[in-house]
Amino acid sequence: MPMAQDARHKVSWTTVGEGLGHDRGGQPALMIKHARAGVDDMHHDLPQASRMRDAWLVDAALADGRGAMASTQCRQQVLVRLDRLGVHAAVIGYPAVRPADRALLAESRGICRQIIRICATAPEDAEALAGILRDTAATAAAGDPPVDALVECNADPALDRGVAGAADPVGGLGHAVAVLRGIAQVHVVFAALATAAPDRLRAMVQAALLNGARSLILADTTGRMLPVETAAAVAVLRSLAGPDVAVIAAPADDLGLATANALAAIGAGATGVMGAIGGLGERAGLVALEEIATAIRYRPDHTCLVHDIDLALMSEAGQDIAAALAVDLGRNKAVLGDYVFGTAAGLHQHGLLNHPITYEYLDPADFGRERRILIGRHSGRAVLRSRLTEAGINFAPDQLEAVYQAVMRSPDPERFNDNADLVALYRQLAAHDIQGA
């Protein structure tokens, strides 16, 4: 890394919180280890109900990358899918400065059952957004979920050049939150967290809280932070904000650590994550919300969180959203990929057929999916035995061997994933007294 760039990494998140807060036992907040003793790796002890908290899972795909550039109709489709899925909130863009986002805000009236639409703004555009939100409230359909506001700011003075309001960023943030607070719930996102100046960050957090911000969002917009740094940053904000203000992590995935960073944030006290279904977004994308939702559901021993997302709808919703935004998720994409609950390796297939937990931690049925034992170049006899048995065929060991050899010799063994083709092969060989070739 060039020295000039490295020098701008002013924050050592493992030390910046010294003196900011202490836990009930008197230990520095940043030194707390969130270990949960006695939890087995596979069979997890559930926390007491009193310890469980509601997770805030926010999708920001409509304000970032292709989601921001799509047609209003496509963006409405995405919003409806997120609503049906049970995502808590969605950032729909910057209505104060983008006509397309203003159109989405207006035309999405009455189409959502529960999802909160969040309108983002820079501090200098807060008054314009306030006017738009007043008009939206006056024409809201009966039963419409609320519309919230999100004020974006940065705690890195090096990014102030050419930015309106840079002369008094703390005062500008406080004014923006105050202007919007009487109209909507206000969230504040701190961008470029990795290069934040500690004193400025403290001052901006205090200004946001004094003027009524509902939540603080830590955005690692460059994706450079490590999980230990993210956990320390969350601990700092938690110590400043107290227990009643939500702290939300918004990691980017440039280093491939977004999910690890989000879970580290939750372990350190964050109660929400802002990302996108499918990890959609600019560059390497945002943290994948389906991975966070799954981790919360499968690892309550770590997260102590609950959510209302319907995992059984996740795969279909993810594919629909990707199609609407013309994005390919990839067949190996965790949770959503076409191949994620399938295997074509003989050793894995044998293990799955005998004891699924050997290689399958996530239950496909939880996601409206089925386990797929695929026939391919590296498959073994176990999958063929299983498939032929399911088709109601009784066969001798030499007959199974003949089918296996024929499949392996085929230029396209994958075509025998169609049971009709596999049964036809068996019958063809049987008609020739199972002689192999």
Rounded-to-integer distance, Cα 24 and Cα 437, Å: 75
Tokens for 83, please give them. Answer: 């609503």
Which of 54-58, 188-192, 201-205, 352-356 has the lowest average pLDDT? 352-356
Q: Answer whether residue 13 shows pLDDT above 50.
A: no
Looking at residue 166, what is its pLDDT? 64
The neighbour count for residue 434, using CB atoms within 10 Å, is 18
Render pLDDT for 170-195 as a digit per residue (tens, 0 to 9).
999 999 999 999 999 999 999 877 78
Tokens for 147, please give them. Answer: 């519309």
Neighbouring residues of 26: CB distance < 8 A, sequence distance ≥ 6: none
Percent of the chain past pLDDT 70, that is, above it, reads: 79
Residue 90, by phi and psi: left (phi above 0), alpha (psi -120 to 50) or beta? Answer: beta
pLDDT band at 349 (very low <50, low <70, confident <90, very high): low
Q: Is the dihedral of CA 62, 272, 118, 142 positive or negative?
A: positive
Rounded-to-integer distance, Cα 99 and Cα 83, Å: 23
Rounded-to-integer distance, Cα 185 and Cα 181, Å: 6
Neighbouring residues of 265: CB distance < 8 A, sequence distance ≥ 6: 218, 230, 231, 233, 234, 247, 249, 251, 273
Rounded-to-integer distance, Cα 10 and Cα 423, Å: 66
Closest CA relative to residue 34, chosen from 307, 295, 304, 261: 304
Give the mean pLDDT of 209-219: 95
User: In 3-state terms, what secondary structure has residue 138?
Assistant: helix
User: In 3-state terms, what secondary structure has residue 224?
Assistant: coil
Render pLDDT for 111-135 as a digit per residue (tens, 0 to 9).
989 999 999 999 999 999 999 999 9
Instruction: Give, in order, the Cα–Cα distances in Å from 344 to each of 34, 196, 338, 380, 425.
Output: 39, 47, 13, 9, 19
Domains, the chain, ordered by start: 46-324 (3.20.20.70), 342-431 (no CATH)
